[in-house]
Structure 1
Amino acid sequence: MNETQSKTQASFSIPKKTSSSAERGKMPPQAIDLEEAVLGAMMIDKKGLNETIEILQEDFFYRPQHQKIFKAIATLFNESEPIDLLTVSNQLRKNGDYDSIGGNYYLVGLTQKVASSAHIEFHARVIQEKYVLRKLIEISSSIIDKAYDETTDIFELLDESESEIFKITDGSLKSEYKDSKSLVYQAIEQIKAMSEKEGLSGVPSGFRDVDKITSGFHPSDLVILAARPGMGKTAFVLSMAKNITVDYKIPVAVFSLEMSSIQLITRLIVGETGIDNEKIKKGNLTDAEWKQLYTKVKNLENAPLFIDDTPALNVFDLRAKCRRLVSQHGVKMIIIDYLQLMTTKDKSSGNREQEISTISRSLKAIAKELEVPVIALSQLSRAVETRGGSKRPLLSDLRESGAIEQDADIVSFIYRPEYYKIPTWDDEEQSPTEGQAELIIAKHRNGALENIRLRFIAEQAKFMDLSESTSFSSGPMELQSSMNNDDFELPNINPLDSFGIDDFSNDDDNEVPF
C-alpha cells in the first residue's frame, strides 16, 4: 500500500471516529440547578408546592436523588400531610432513601439555594422540557437500532414510533396508574360537569332521547351502529356530526371508506338547507332556494368537521391519522363509515372473521389511547331479511365477527319498518311507521337498553327528534314572498361544479336517498 492510499483511507476513517466520540461525549439535556431550586421551594413554600405538583413527575428529574426526594414529597401530598424539611426527611427514611440522597445535609442545602417560590412554575416547565428532550433522544435511538435490524416489521416500527412520540406531543406523559384519591376527585368533577350540562357527561349526539339514555358518548367508548343497507346508517351519523359540530362546536372527524368527501358534504348541505336532494343534484334551484342555500351553508363552512375519504384504510394508517387530528385540531369524536371496508396490514391468513376481530380490537384501543369516543358503522348479515315478523335486528346479526359485540361499549341498530313495507308499529297504538325510524340500543355497558323513535326525512337523508318540526322557519317559499330580487344577485358559478355533481354519476351507494 503506497503513502497516497494510506492517507486516503485515513481521511475516511477519522471523521467516523470523531463523530462517534462526539455522540458519546454529549451530556443529556438537564437543568440540575433548577431541579434543586424547585425541590427547595416545594419544602419551604406551600404556594410553590401547589403550583408544581401537578406539572412534575418523578421521572422528570435527571438526578436519581432528586427523583427520590420528589417521590417523598408527592407521597406526603397525596396523604394530605404537611410538607417541610422534617416531614420530607422522615418520609425518605420510611422509603429507605435517606442515606442515598445525602441525608439532612443535602436537604438543607436545597432549601438554602432558594429564597422564595417566585417563578417556580416556569422552572418546573423547563425541567419538564428537558425530560421531553431526553425522551426524544431515547425514542430516536431505539428507532435507529430497530431500523438497522432487518427482522423488524416496518409497520410495527412505524406504529410504535408514532405512538411513543404522540405521548410526548400530547402532553400525556403520565404514570401508568392512578391512586384512589385522584380518581375520586375526577369522578366528582365529572358529576359536577353533568349537572351543569343537563346530565351530559360525554359528547352529545344532538338527539334528545338518545342523550337521555347515554348521557353523551364518553371518552374511550367504542360505539357500533349497525343496520342493513338502505336503513340510513350514513344519514344518521352525518345528522349527528352536524348536530355536534354546528350546534355544539365540538370537533369531529369522519373517515368515509365508501363515499367521497364531496358526496358527504353535499348530504349535509341538503339536510341543513331543507332543499330537496334531487334539485341540488341537478342544480335546478330558484332564486329563493339559492339564497336559502347560501344563508344556511355558512353554518357548515365554520363547523369543525374533518372528512377523510381514503379508500380501504387500514388500522395502522387510521391510528396515525387520528393521533394527528386529536393533537392538532382537538377532535373529540371519530366516526368510521364503515368497519367492514377497513383492512389490516396482514392479509396472509385469509380469515375474514379474524381480520374483523383485529380491526374491532384496534378501534377500541384507539378510543382508549386518544380518550375519545369512536363510532363505527357496521353491516348486518342477511339473516334479518329472511326472518319473519318485524325484522328487528339482533346482536347475533352482526356480520362476520362476534368480537364486535364483545369489544363495543354500545351496540345499536337502525330499524325502519317502512323499508320492509310494514305500515304500522308493533305497539298498542299501532301508530304509522311512515317517516319514522327506531334506534335500538341492544348493548350498553354502562347504561340501560332502549328503543328510541326518531324522524327520518328520506329526501334530505336526515334524522331528527320525533317531536321536532320538519318545517324550516325561513324556507324557500317564505323567502320567495319576502325577497326583493333587486337586492340579490346570483354569483357567476356553475351549480354542477359547486357540488361535485359529476361524483354522483356513477354512485352505486345503496343507502337512502342517494
Structure 2
Amino acid sequence: MINNEILGKVPPQAVDIEEFIIGSIMIDKKGLDEVISIIFPEIFYKKEHQYIYTAIRNLYNNSNPIDLYTVSNELRKEGKLDLIGGELYLIELTQKVISSAHIEYHGKIVLQKFLLRELIKISSDLIKKCYEHNTDIFDLLNYAENKIFEINQKYLMKKKYESTEDLVNRVIEKIRTTKNKGLSGVPSGFHKLDSITSGWQNSDLIVIASRPGMGKTTFMLSMVANISLKKNIPIAIFSLEMSPVQLITKLISSETKISSEKIRKANLSRSDWECLIEKSEKIKRSPLYINDTPSLSIFDLRAKCRNLISKKKVKLILIDYMQLMRNHHTYRSQNREQEISIISRNLKSIAKELDIPIIVLSQLSRAVENRGGNKRPLLSDLRESGAIEQDADIVIFIYRPEYYGFKIWDSDYHNESCNGQAEVIISKHRNGSLNKFRLQFIADQSRFENFKETNPVPLDWEEDYKKNVIDYENNRLNNKINKNGDNNTLFSSIFLDEENE
C-alpha cells in the first residue's frame, strides 16, 4: 500500500471493479484477451488481487485453461492460496458477475486509479527530497522526468490492432491525395528529392548527415524556406547548436540573397535594406517555430512536439543535431554509442506515435577524411552508432567535392565542374529507391537551390511514373471504367472522381 500520511486520505482505488474483472476472467477467458495488454498485476490495489491475476497470467502464458479450478490450483502451487482467502474467496468473485461485458472499459478505470496512486507516490518522494539539504535541483528535476517517462512508456504507450478494411481505406485515400496534390507527404522544395520520396512521409525518421562544413544546417534552412515560407506549412526546429537569432539571420540571408557577411557587418545599400525589410515581413508571418533548449532530452522533445502539433498544427519536426541530444536517463555503465542508440530508437518511436515526419541532422565520423578516393560518405560513417542506420527510414548524405579541393565531378556527372555544387545521396530509403542528384550551393547566401543539369540523368522513379501514366491513359481509351458497375477496384477508386467529372 502507498503511504498517504501526508494527505491523510485513502488512495484512489476501485476494489469492486477489480473484483468484477477477476471474476469475469475466471468465468469467461475471452475477457482476458481484451485486457491482457492494459492490465498488469501491480495495478491492482488489493494484494490478494495481484496474486490472483499473476496466477491467471501464468496460466495464459503457458496456454493452459483458465477457470475457478485451474486458478485455485495455480495459487496452491505458488503457496498463495491461503493468502488470498482460499477457494471460498475465488468462488465469491465468480458469483459477483454474470458475463465479461465491458471488461475493457472497467480495466481502464482500474489502470487510471493505479496511475493516480503512482503520481501520488512520485509526488510524495519529491516532497521528501525537496526538504533534504543536499538535494541538487537538476538531479531532482531529472528524477521526476524519468519517473513520469517510465510510467508513460510502460502503461500508456499501447496501440490497438487495426482492421485491414480501415488500413486499405487509408491507403486509397493517401493515393487520392497524391494524385490530386502530386505528393503524398510534406514537400522539401527540391524537385529531385520530392520525386524520389513523394515528400516527407508521416511517421518517418529522416537522418541528414555530413561532415562539418558541408552545409547540413544550410540544407535544413533551405527546406524551411521552401516549406514554411513558400508553402505556408507549419514546421518546428529544435536547434541545439545555433541560437534562434543565428538561424533567422541565415534564413534572411538566404531569402534576400544578401551575403551573410554583409548582413553581419550591416554593410547594406539602400536596395539591400528595402529587400531585407520586405523579406523579413514575409518571414515574420511564416508558421515557423524555433526552440533552442540546450541538451534537449527525449522526454522534453516528446512533450514539446505533442504541444506544437496540438496548438500550432505543426506538420514537420527538424532537429539540429542528434549528437547534442541527451538520453532521459543515462546509466554510468552506458557509453556514448549506447546513449545515441537509445536516442535514435526513441526518435523513431516519437515519429510513429505522433504520426509526423522527423528530420534529424547527424555528424559523420572522421573515417571520411582518412579515406582515399572521392571521399563520398557511406552508411558505416554515421557517427557513434550503427543504430542510426537501423532506425532511420531515410538516410541522406550531403557531399561537396569542392570542400576537399576537387575541381570536377567524376564520370557520374560527365566530369563537369563541381564548383558551387553539392551532391545529395540517398543511401537508405526503406520505402523507395536509392539515388543521388545535384543541388546548387551558394555559400555566402546560406542557400541550396535546385540544379538545372546540362546532361540530366533520368531517375528510375520518373521513368516508372511516366510509364504508369501512359499505361493508365491507354487503359482508359480501350476499356472505359463502368460507372454503374463495380467500382471497388483500386484504379476505379482512385480515378472515380475524375470519371464522374
TM-score normalised per structure 2: 0.64
Q: 1:277-314 CA distances to partner (integer Å, 9 max, x unpaired)?
A: 11100112111111111111122111111111122222
CA contact (8 A) 2:13 2:110 kept: no
2:299 match: 316
Pick from 446, 453, 458 the counterpart of residue 443 of structure 2: 458
Pick from 171, 178, 182 the counterpart of residue 187 of structure 1: 171
Q: CA deviation at 1:177?
A: 1.0
Q: Distance in 2 between matches of 1:412 and 1:24?
A: 51
Q: Distance in 1 between matches of 2:117 and 2:7?
A: 18
Q: Distance in 2 between matches of 1:166 and 1:248?
A: 35
2:264 match: 281
Task: Please tell me whether residue 367 in structure 1 is matched to residue 351 in structure 2.
Answer: yes
Pick from 283, 287, 292 the counterpart of residue 300 of structure 1: 283
1:156 match: 146
For the aligned residue pairs, the C-alpha RMSD in angstroms reads 3.4
Q: Distance in 1 between matches of 2:170 and 2:333?
A: 44
Gaps of 5+ in 1: 1-14, 29-58, 60-98, 103-127, 168-173, 469-514
Q: Distance in 2 between matches of 1:299 and 1:134?
A: 52
Q: 1:482-505 CA distances to partner (integer Å, 9 max, x unpaired)?
A: xxxxxxxxxxxxxxxxxxxxxxxx
| Pair 1:191–1:148, CA change in 2 (3 A) | same
Task: Please tell me whether residue 329 in structure 1 is matched to residue 312 in structure 2.
Answer: yes
Pick from 356, 375, 397 the counterpart of residue 413 of structure 1: 397
CA contact (8 A) 1:244 1:250 kept: yes
CA contact (8 A) 1:343 1:355 kept: yes
Q: Distance in 1 between matches of 2:313 and 2:197?
A: 22
Q: Distance in 2 between matches of 1:185 and 1:259?
A: 43
Q: Distance in 2 between matches of 1:370 and 1:209?
A: 27
1:395 match: 379
CA contact (8 A) 1:162 1:320 kept: no
Gaps of 5+ in 2: 1-5, 18-37, 39-97, 130-141, 454-501
1:112 match: none
Which letter maps to 1:443? Answer: K
Which letter maps to 2:446? Answer: A
Q: Distance in 2 between matches of 1:213 and 1:352?
A: 34
SS of structure 2 residue aligned to 1:391: coil
CA contact (8 A) 2:122 2:144 kept: no
CA contact (8 A) 1:139 1:164 kept: no
Which letter maps to 1:304? Answer: P
SS of structure 2 residue aligned to 1:336: strand
| Pair 1:347–1:139, CA change in 2 (3 A) | closer
1:78 match: none
Task: Please tell me whether residue 240 in structure 1 is matched to residue 216 in structure 2.
Answer: no
SS of structure 2 residue aligned to 1:254: strand
Q: 1:143-182 CA distances to partner (integer Å, 9 max, x unpaired)?
A: 2245447999633332256679999xxxxxx961100111
Q: 1:78-100 CA distances to partner (integer Å, 9 max, x unpaired)?
A: xxxxxxxxxxxxxxxxxxxxx85
SS of structure 1 residue aligned to 2:213: coil
Q: Distance in 1 between matches of 2:404 and 2:245?
A: 30
Task: Please tell me whether residue 144 in structure 1 is matched to residue 128 in structure 2.
Answer: no
CA contact (8 A) 2:13 2:113 kept: no
Which letter maps to 2:323? Answer: Q
Pick from 432, 448, 454 the counterpart of residue 447 of structure 1: 432
1:431 match: 416
Q: CA deviation at 1:347?
A: 4.6
Question: Percent identical across equivalent pairs?
Answer: 51
Equivalent residues, number:
352
Which letter maps to 1:396? Answer: S
